[in-house]
Structure formats: C-alpha cells, structure tokens
Amino acid sequence: MSKAILPEENIELNVSLNNQEEAIRRAGQLLVDGGYTDASYIDKMFEREEITTTFMGNFVAIPHGTDDAKDSVHYSGLSVIQAPEGVDYGDGNTAKLIFGIAGKNNEHLEILSKIAILCSEEENVDRMINASSKQELLDMFQEVE
C-alpha cells in the first residue's frame, strides 16, 4: 500500500501565517491529517528546528522531523503551504513557501533534492509563490520527476 507523496489536499494556497511556529505546525498537521505521520511528528519538527533552522533561503523553508522521528512516519509525504505575504521564519528570514516533509526509509532525501532543484531557480520560486491553483504547483513537481 502506497500513498501519493503530494496529493492535492496536502497543498494550501494563499495562507496567512502569524509566525514560524504556526507555519511548522500547519505543515505538520497536513501530514498528520493525511495519515502520513503520527501527531508526535510535529514535536519532532520543532526539535529539528532547534538543532538548525530549516530555512533554505529564497523564501523557502522545509520543516521536517529529527532523524529519530522515523517511528512516527507511516508514509513518505510532502505538504506545501503557499504564504504570498510571507511569514517571519526567525533570524530575519521570510518564508513564502513552506514544505513539510516526512520520509520513510530515507525517501525524504529524494524529496529534498526535488525541492532543491525546483527552488534553486528564482523564477520557479516566484511561480510557486504566485501559483493560483494547486494543479499548477503539482505540475511543477511532476516536471522535476
């Protein structure tokens, strides 16, 4: 039994976020709601953030759990939150795209590399920040595969 890593219901567009905590919690909750992880995974996402920020630059953050969070993960999954107004992600950084990641058996590394490839080009980031439909975002991810 496998699940789509990024189904449409894991994407939220035009979200207003108050702070980094809300951004991480929301990205994690999408993974919990979709059955990808236990609720405890969200705590591991916050633990990970304490070790080192998951802000990647270029308005992109990729909150994910610590290495010992593996037991909380049932399926590899990705959540995407588009926050065009941006949210303060700590250290003076602004995130407009938040990718919540849960990986089973190191599959998160593959997911991370796709995000890195997509987000390495500013025009792609702009396209994702300004995407008006979930399908538009999904299409961009399919192009990477």
- Which are the catalytic amino acids? 64
What is the DSSP code (8-state) at residue 26? H
CB burial class (10 A; 0-12, 13-18, 19+) of residue 4? middle
| CA atoms within 13 A of residue 8's CA, in its CB half-sphere | 5
- At residue 108, what are phi and psi to the nearest 5 degrees? -65, -25
CA dist., res. 33 & res. 14, Å (int): 19
Greatest C-alpha distance within the chain = 42
Return the SS3 of 5.
coil
Confirm if 87 and 116 have CB atoms less than 8 A apart. Answer: no
